[in-house]
Amino acid sequence: MFGEDPLDSYAVMDVDSSPPSMAHMITELGQTERLPETTPEEIQAALRESFESMLIRAMQETHLRDMDPGLPDEEGSSGESDQDVDDEDVCVDLDVTEPSGYFPYPNKAVMLLDILDNMPRCRFTDTQMSLILHLAKKLGAAGIPSLKGLRKIQKTVQAECGHKPLHIVSHLGNVFYMNDVRDAIANDFANPRVAPHLQCYFHEKTRDISETYQAERLQEYSPEQLTPMFSKGAKHFWINELARLQDGRFIIPETWIVRDRSLEDGTTESRLTTDALIVTQTLDGCWAVTGEDLMVDADDLELDFIDILAMFGPNIDDEDLVIVMVTPWADDVSGNKSKQYNKHMNMYAQNTCLPGRLLQQEFHFAAFRDHVKSTEKNPVRCFNAHTKRKCRCILRTPGLPADNPQQSEEASHIGGNGNHPCRKCHWGGTKLEKESTAVYHACHEPGIARNAAEIRAELQNQLRLATFGDSDTIETRQRSSGTKDKISQYWIDQILARVADIREKEPQADIDDIASRVQTWLEEQPGDKMNPLLDMTGLDPSQDTPVELLHTVLLGVIKYIWHFLHTSQWSDQDRHLLAVRLQSTDISGLHIPPIRTSYMMQYKNNLIGKHYKTVMQALSFHVHDICTPEQFTLIKAAGDLGARLWVPEIDNMDSYIADLKIAIANVLDAWDAVDPLRIIVKIKLHLLTHIPDDIRRFGPSVRFLTEIQESYNSVFRACSIYSNRLSPSRDIGLKFASMNRVKHLLCGGFWFNSVSKGWISAGQTVQDVLMEDPVFQRHLGWVSSEPAEPGTIKLAALKTNPPLEWQSTKASLHWQEGDIPAVDTCWKVGQYVTVQNGDRASKTCWVFADLVVGNSQETVLGRVCEIISGTKGLVTLERFIYTAQRHPEFDWPLVRRPRGTEITQNNIDSFVVVNPASIRFVCSVQHDCWKGKCQPSIIGKERQEREETDRTICLIQHSDDDFFVLNMAGLHNFTNICNVLPRSLTELQLLHPDREAFHQEISTKAQSLGQEKRQKTAEKRRATAARKREAVKKAEEEAAAAEAAARRAEEQGDMDSDEEEGEEEHEPEPEQGAESEDIELDDGDEFIPARRRSKRKRQRT
């Protein structure tokens, strides 16, 4: 099945095996059928023919596209003319083609240029790429094509092994292009570096839950809606079909589940199992199901039942069938890099059958279109690079991660400003009702859950009411239920307009008759009449929109705290002190970028997620003396909550959920003490109560975090800015497809070749680029799956850190165990050491390490003070201890140096030398400035433009180096810290054990504050109305005065005209030849009456 030509190092996979035709189980099927193979000679000839054809097309002396030069091409989107960027038509010289290892490229140069042109975060215009080609030619590089030739080859390769965006017309008539998610999923299976990680079965685990496919969400699907079969060679074992075990027993598998099994060496391995019914033969020769359940390893199955389920169609043949979980994410993003907003709606999708660590890599992304429903009847055809078999996959959508407004829209919800503002439950009411004791207390707990069935029924009812023209009732129902759908609202508006038009034309028509006619019209209209997500198999948008941490916690809870303190508590002096304190934070162990406090204070109202993540982890240590006790409790409670939410793995789900509920309750109660009205105004606080249920169903909350999607928007924007805007979605889709094609080729992904009728991959030299070139790895977003070995020491630069002799090292002063190294040995200084969990620990970092003393081992906390490497690696730690009592202010573990009695009586050393591989992980420890009353101090000059200035830098000068606090608000390694420390030091306690009584007390304050707020609002409204009335009255008076003045002026003008007419009647005629004093009349004045002529005379004068 798998062959590699010794001359042409590209792989070909032939999967055209004939389908099984037997409808029952027979013994002969015990032998695996061999699939027909194609000879290497045939494969080589077919591929060479295809390759040469591609080169001939690429070398033709024709334009890149058969259209006007000014129109956009299919591959690029810059809209630049060929004459501007390319003066040559020669594509590539046949003498420099190297088809052996660079297939499907003609040579190495074209391969590297194609990779360079498809960097996600390093995009080039046609002009820039033309300059690169020109420079390469001037340097004498061989095989460099012209830009036109490069584009021709890219177009050919894309047509051969890539995909094109789909042309879509929405039900509103909008035209756009999107890449097909089905193609992206097929590429995952055909990618040998991705396919082995795909987990298409539910993984049953009670501990160490880290992935969505290990949580309870997949258990909500029926066995038929999950992967229904298991393949073993050419044999397929389906649920609800007869199968035979190796021991001769007959069973009927009911479901497929991956379970962990303990081994003799103490480790565990994951095995695919089935819960099956036993089939036995009765005395009369019949076969019957006993009803007895049996758990069987999939490897113990021997013979299968060949009949394929009718629901999957007759063309499945011998292909595997799997279910793939895909989660879409949608958001609006600007297509410009400037401040001018250019709205684009973009959608991404994630294959959640992959481990979360891979989903955090930008290497694995795809533009998304909702083709999930169509795969139920037409599964996606693909090739599994791991099993080397053809397969089909059906897509399911287990969840819809997004920001809160988007999730409300997906759940057909009215939004966070409605009377019932929660998309997941029915909590809510009017403002007065929310302040009542019962509703106020209910806001602190999840309410009665919504579901797709009731949402669908409510929308149908709203559409029915629209046919009667009852818009007021519809609005009332939308406010009272919180259900309002964007698609349904479009049709409601159409229906109401149609009803109004019929009533106007037929005033005597019966309303029931009108409703019937409009209902018939509605049913005849194409397209969905309500949210299509409500009809997706296994999806409930109201419950399957998990609460997202970035927008709910960082841009919600933490942002509210930051804004409240800046607007209601801190003065300019407090902000200056806070800036100095924040800048003095020890960020080792926090895994955050350097803190820029000057920026954070200057743009305090425009911070983003990374700033709030820093605030959440560090603010607790810096607000003493500048906030009230209630505010400090709120800040610390938010830190406790954040550390428990950003965990990648959950050891014990029940214990974790219990702690998480306490952390959420403390945050909400702390907010109540600071601002009683906040929780009923900001729905994000209430949404916190739904997080425990989401985590139990979907796994750790970091698995549905959207930070990686938000950061990927810059890649989308880079594709957008180079479009000529004539067809932006098509240009963007083409570029995404091109980038995915390059990644697929570099990974050795397979694609179907129409010439050889087999699945082929790129040459081995192409595949080696991704594995051997770290520059391309970094720019393509690939993260190596092989971490550094624990204990590996990265040496510092010898120029600034010369080698040391043994007696000059700190390790020599504190050596205790084992043979002492020779005095004349040379030791090099290390920059950092890789610890057990992959962290890098440098000098001054705080770490937990395993210390072996004699035959015993203990875990110690210390600060790295030396890293050296010679005959072996050594790390010297300055040892600290954590006390059994918590800190009186922070309620976190107190860290201090060991005292004299502890050193002498308990044999606790101040310094210890450990093996680098024994260091477990790094942690965050902050100085106890609250106890030491540390003050700012000038410590040096500020550097600008890489040189010192006259500006001074102020940082906190610590009063001692003995007392510290273990930062339990730190996100990194929080789970590891909890596993090391005693439970008494990490367990949370409720701020108010009797929460209902506390909420009753706070609700009284909320009612008073609400009443006061409404009175002030009413007073402002009355004052505004009075000012408006006064302005209207004044305007009316001015208008009346102006009108009276105009009337008087007109009357005065009439009197003057009468006097002039009288004078004219008695005036003697002028003598002959004398000059007339009459004003010359304009054309037509002879027809103007005398009075009007007099008026015009005055106007001319």
Each residue of 534-557: pLDDT tens digit? Answer: 988 889 999 999 999 999 999 999
Q: To the nearest 10°, report the CA torsion of 1034, 1036, 1040, 1046.
A: 90
Residue 643 has what pLDDT? 96
Residue 942 has what pLDDT? 83
pLDDT at 936 over 50: yes
Average pLDDT value for residue range 908-925? 92
Q: Between 471 and 1094, where is the model more confident?
A: 471
> How is residue 1000 written in tokens?
């009753």
Q: Which of 649, 671, 700 corresponds to the end of one domain?
A: 700
Tell me, yes or no, whether 505 lies in a domain: yes
pLDDT at 718 over 90: no
Give tens-digit pLDDT for 96-134.
Answer: 444 568 888 988 899 999 999 998 888 888 889 999 999
Tell me, yes or no, whether 1088 lies in a domain: no
Q: Alpha-carbon distance 1095 to 348, whole Å?
A: 75
DSSP letters spanning 406-442: HHHHHTTB--TTSSS--SSB-----HHHHHSHHHHHH
Tell me, yes or no, whether 353 lies in a domain: no
Residue 1039 has what pLDDT? 92
Residue 951 has what pLDDT? 87
pLDDT at 813 over 80: yes
Average pLDDT value for residue range 566-593? 93
pLDDT at 738 over 70: yes
Do 838 and 981 belong to one domain? yes
Lowest mean pLDDT among 361-375, 463-477, 927-941: 361-375
pLDDT at 901 over 60: yes
Work out the pLDDT band at 786, boundaries 50, 70, 90. low
**Nearest Cα residue to 321 out of 230, 232, 203, 199:** 230
Work out the pLDDT band at 454, boundaries 50, 70, 90. very high
pLDDT at 725 over 80: no
Do 815 and 857 belong to one domain? yes
pLDDT at 372 over 90: no
Cis peptide before 328 (omega within 30 of 0): no
Residue 355 has what pLDDT? 83
Q: Is 397 left (phi over 0), alpha (psi -120 to 50) or beta?
A: beta
Max CA-CA distance within the chain? 151
Residue 1062 has what pLDDT? 59
pLDDT at 76 over 60: no
Residue 1091 has what pLDDT? 47
pLDDT at 295 over 70: yes
Give tens-digit pLDDT for 960-1004.
Answer: 999 999 999 999 999 999 999 999 999 999 999 999 999 999 999
Residue 1071 has what pLDDT? 47
Average pLDDT value for residue range 423-432? 94
Pairing verdict, β 11-13 and 758-760:
antiparallel
* Burial 279-299, CB ≥16 within 10 A → b, else e: beeeeeeeeeeeeeeeebebe
Do 637 and 505 belong to one domain? no
pLDDT at 678 over 90: yes
Q: Is the distance from CB of 239 to CB of 228 less than 8 angstroms? A: yes
**Where do we find the tokens 């479901």?**
255
Do 527 and 585 belong to one domain? no
Which residues form the domain of 451? Answer: 420-532
pLDDT at 52 over 90: no
Do 633 and 494 belong to one domain? no
Residue 677 has what pLDDT? 95
Cα-Cα-Cα-Cα dihedral sign, residues 485, 487, 489, 495: negative
Residue 638 has what pLDDT? 97
Tell me, yes or no, whether 426 lies in a domain: yes
Residue 100 has what pLDDT? 64
Q: Alpha-carbon distance 597 to 575, whole Å?
A: 10
Phi/psi of residue 489, each to 5°? Answer: -65, -35
Do 463 and 582 belong to one domain? no
> How is residue 238 written in tokens?
């389906």
Q: Is the distance from CB of 178 to CB of 184 less than 8 angstroms? A: no
Q: Which of 679, 700, 721 corresponds to the end of one domain?
A: 700
Do 583 and 473 belong to one domain? no
Work out the pLDDT band at 364, boundaries 50, 70, 90. very low
pLDDT at 25 over 60: no
Tell me, yes or no, whether 878 lies in a domain: yes
Work out the pLDDT band at 206, boundaries 50, 70, 90. confident
pLDDT at 776 over 70: yes
Work out the pLDDT band at 67, boundaries 50, 70, 90. very low
Do 505 and 602 belong to one domain? no
Average pLDDT value for residue range 485-494? 93
Angle at 782 between CA 780 and CA 783, to 5 degrees: 150
Do 473 and 618 belong to one domain? no
Q: Is the distance from CB of 268 to CB of 260 less than 8 angstroms? A: yes
> How is residue 307 written in tokens?
């009949």
Do 815 and 885 belong to one domain? yes
Give the SS3 label for residue 1053. helix
> How is residue 1058 written in tokens?
């009468």
pLDDT at 426 over 90: yes
Q: Between 301 and 1079, where is the model more confident?
A: 301
Tell me, yes or no, whether 520 lies in a domain: yes
**Nearest Cα residue to 145 out of 72, 60, 52, 53:** 60
**Nearest Cα residue to 980 out of 882, 856, 877:** 882
Work out the pLDDT band at 175, boundaries 50, 70, 90. confident
Average pLDDT value for residue range 628-655? 95
- List CB contacts of 702: < 8 A, sequence separation 6 or more: 356, 549, 645, 646, 647, 648
Residue 731 has what pLDDT? 87
Cα-Cα-Cα-Cα dihedral sign, residues 996, 1000, 1001, 1006: positive
- List CB contacts of 153: < 8 A, sequence separation 6 or more: 54, 58, 91, 92, 105, 106, 110, 114, 145
Q: Between 919 and 232, where is the model more confident?
A: 919
Average pLDDT, the chain: 82
Average pLDDT value for residue range 652-660? 95
Q: Alpha-carbon distance 713 to 586, whole Å?
A: 31
Residue 3 has what pLDDT? 34
Lowest mean pLDDT among 160-164, 299-303, 499-503, 861-865: 299-303
Do 493 and 556 belong to one domain? no
Work out the pLDDT band at 615, boundaries 50, 70, 90. very high
Average pLDDT value for residue range 1031-1037? 92
Crossing angle for the helix pair 486-505 and 511-524, nearest 10 degrees?
Answer: 130
Total domain count for the chain? 3
Q: Based on C-alpha coordinates, what's the Rg of the chain?
A: 38
Residue 458 has what pLDDT? 96
Looking at 565-711, which runs of residues are DSSP E strands? 650-652
pLDDT at 885 over 70: yes
Do 498 and 567 belong to one domain? no
Percent of the chain residues past pLDDT 90, beyond the cut:
47
Residue 46 has what pLDDT? 57
Average pLDDT value for residue range 1059-1088? 47
pLDDT at 1069 over 70: no
Q: Between 943 and 568, where is the model more confident?
A: 568
What are the beta bridge partners of residue 382? 391
Work out the pLDDT band at 309, boundaries 50, 70, 90. very low
Q: Which of 682, 700, 718 corresponds to the end of one domain?
A: 700
Pairing verdict, β 320-334 and 389-396:
parallel
Q: Say how many C-beta atoms besides its own lie within 10 A of residue 328's C-beta.
A: 20
Q: Alpha-carbon distance 115 to 126, whole Å?
A: 15
Percent of the chain residues past pLDDT 70, beyond the cut:
82
What's the Cα-to-Cα distance from 907 to each of 234, 851, 884, 980, 1098, rounded to whole Å? 65, 13, 18, 21, 116
207 DSSP assignment? E
Q: Alpha-carbon distance 586 to 927, whole Å?
A: 8
Tell me, yes or no, whether 333 lies in a domain: no
Give the SS3 label for residue 874. strand
pTM (two decimals): 0.81
Phi/psi of residue 422, each to 5°? Answer: -95, 125
Q: Alpha-carbon distance 912 to 934, whole Å?
A: 29
Residue 143 has what pLDDT? 87
Residue 235 has what pLDDT? 82
Residue 20 has what pLDDT? 34
Average pLDDT value for residue range 595-604? 93
What are the beta bridge partners of residue 209? 650
Pairing verdict, β 751-753 and 366-367:
unpaired
Residue 983 has what pLDDT? 93
Q: Is the distance from CB of 306 to CB of 25 less than 8 angstroms? A: yes
Q: Where are the alpha helices (DSSP H) in 259-415?
A: 356-359, 404-410
Tell me, yes or no, whether 288 lies in a domain: no
The distance in angstroms from the start CA to the end CA of the chain is 107
Q: Between 445 and 315, where is the model more confident?
A: 445
**Nearest Cα residue to 676 out of 1017, 1005, 1008:** 1005
pLDDT at 624 over 50: yes
Work out the pLDDT band at 332, boundaries 50, 70, 90. confident
